[in-house]
Amino acid sequence: MGSGREEKGPHGDIAVDIENLTRTFGDFVAVDHVSLTVKRGEIFGFLGPNGAGKSTTIKMLCGLLMPSGGSGSVGGYDIIRQSEEIKRTIGYMSQRFSLYDDLTVEENIDFFSGIYGVPAERKEKRKERVLEMAELRRRRTDLTRTLPGGIKQRLALGCAILHEPPIIFLDEPTSGVDPVSRRNFWDLIYGMSRAGTTTFVTTHYMDEAEYCDRLGLIYRGRLIALGAPAELKADHMKRDVIEIETDRTIEAMDALHAHNIESAIFGSSLHATVKDGDKAIPFIRGILGDARIEFRGVGKITPSLEDVFVNLIEEA
């Protein structure tokens, strides 16, 4: 590993560094000149709707897909020339469940232990840790296909980190998993991050984006924003978000629409995006009063990432 570290040289604290990374499929530009860096130990969230280019980017970083243009390094290794070195340094969990369905939990772990070359003396200990992490101690001889989705994802993560890689790439690890399992999964990611692991994770869940140290927003192959969640909210949200708490959300929405105020339903409340919040609040109260819609409150709120993202996409 000695020579590996020397190569990292000036990028000592940079885990992922890409410059103008581009990938085309025929005429379609899946990833369009994306540049970003991820620091060691960071949880970097790569956010965007389906088909935005998240998976394509992650596959190029893992050495699975050749870039059409641009350059980059992962763990100090060049993504074009040193993809095999990268594969020794990373753990990758693909979007599609990719363990062997017809193998038992334990057989899957043993298989990946063998593939990653985990030394025999450490094999059992790591296996037990993965079993514990995935809460599968008592189901170790069960066929993997019989496990519920959330547990499968935890096992897949466990198998991808058997060799204790310093950098892990997770491609939509929680898609199609129930909210409690998603929360548990993120606890695992936090745990690894505290232990110094760099995590590059893609998601389209906005609430998950809030858990990340830094975010990249990708839309139609282009990186449209980059920064910590709080920075993104401060820098990119130039309009105010007004929250209207009411039980009659749909009627309220129609009433506001009649006065050219666009809003969206967020659970039991309504979010309206306006130019100047202080002026809009009395105006909105008036509209609702005229329409005889009871409300519990109208007030300015800190925009959520979803508000930011919707706003950024409208501008893009």
Answer for which of 8, 40, 87, 300 binds other proteins (CB under 8 A) is 87
Contact call for residue 33 and other proteins (CB under 8 A): no
**Closest to other proteins by CB, 36 or 62:** 62
Phi and psi torsions of 87, nearest 5°? -65, -20
Q: Is 102 in the site for other proteins (CB under 8 A)?
A: yes
294 by Cβ neighbours in 10 Å (0-12 / 13-18 / 19+) ranks as exposed
119 within 8 A of 127, measured Cβ to Cβ: no
Q: Is 242 helix (H, G, I), strand (E, B) or coil?
A: strand
| Per-residue DSSP letter, 46 | E
DSSP code of 82?
-
In whole angstroms, how close is the CB of 61 to other proteins at the nearest point? Answer: 10
Site string for other proteins, 264-283 (x = CB under 8 A): --------------------
- Contact between 80 and other proteins (CB under 8 A)? no
Do 202 and 172 meet the contact criterion of CB atoms below 8 Å apart?
Answer: yes
Among 78, 106, 107, 251, binds other proteins (CB under 8 A): 107
Which residue, chain included where needed, has tokens 């290794």? 77
Work out whether 229 is an interface residue with other proteins (CB under 8 A).
no
81 contributes a contact to other proteins by CB under 8 A: no
d(CA 44, CA 15): 11
Of 26-34, 85-93, 226-234, 237-245: span binding other proteins (CB under 8 A) = 85-93
Taking CB under 8 A as the binding criterion, the range among 11-19, 108-116, 252-260, 289-297 that sits at the site for other proteins is 108-116
Nearest distance from C-beta of residue 212 to other proteins, angstroms = 22
Stretch 54-73: interaction string toward other proteins, x if CB under 8 A = -----x--xxxxx-------
Q: Round to whole Å and give the CA distance between 222 and 31.
A: 6
Residue 162 vs 218, nearer CB to other proteins: 162
Residue 92 lies near other proteins (rule: CB under 8 A): yes
- The site map against other proteins for 146-165 (x = CB under 8 A) is --------------x-----
- Assess contact for 149 and 181: CB atoms under 8 A: yes
Q: Counting contacts by CB under 8 A, is residue 74 touching other proteins?
A: no
115 binds other proteins (CB under 8 A): yes
Q: Contact 232/308 with Cβ under 8 angstroms?
A: yes
SS3 label, residue 88: helix
Considering only residues 101, 128, 132, 262, which one is a binding residue for other proteins as defined by CB under 8 A? 101
Residue in 266, 280, 275 with CA at minimum distance from that of residue 206 = 266
84 touches other proteins (CB under 8 A): yes
Q: Where are the alpha helices (DSSP H) in the chain?
A: 2-8, 54-61, 83-89, 105-116, 120-133, 149-160, 179-194, 206-209, 229-236, 249-258, 277-290, 305-315
Number of residues near other proteins (by CB under 8 A)? 32
**Residue 103 binds other proteins, judged by CB under 8 A:** yes
Nearest approach in angstroms of CB 107 to other proteins is 6
Please report, as residue ranges, which positions from 154 to 213 form the binding site for other proteins (by CB under 8 A): 160
Query: Judging by DSSP bridges, how do beta strands 167-171 and 269-274 pair with one another?
Result: unpaired
Residues forming contacts to other proteins in the complex (CB under 8 A) are 59, 62-66, 83-84, 87-88, 90, 92-94, 96-103, 107, 110-117, 160
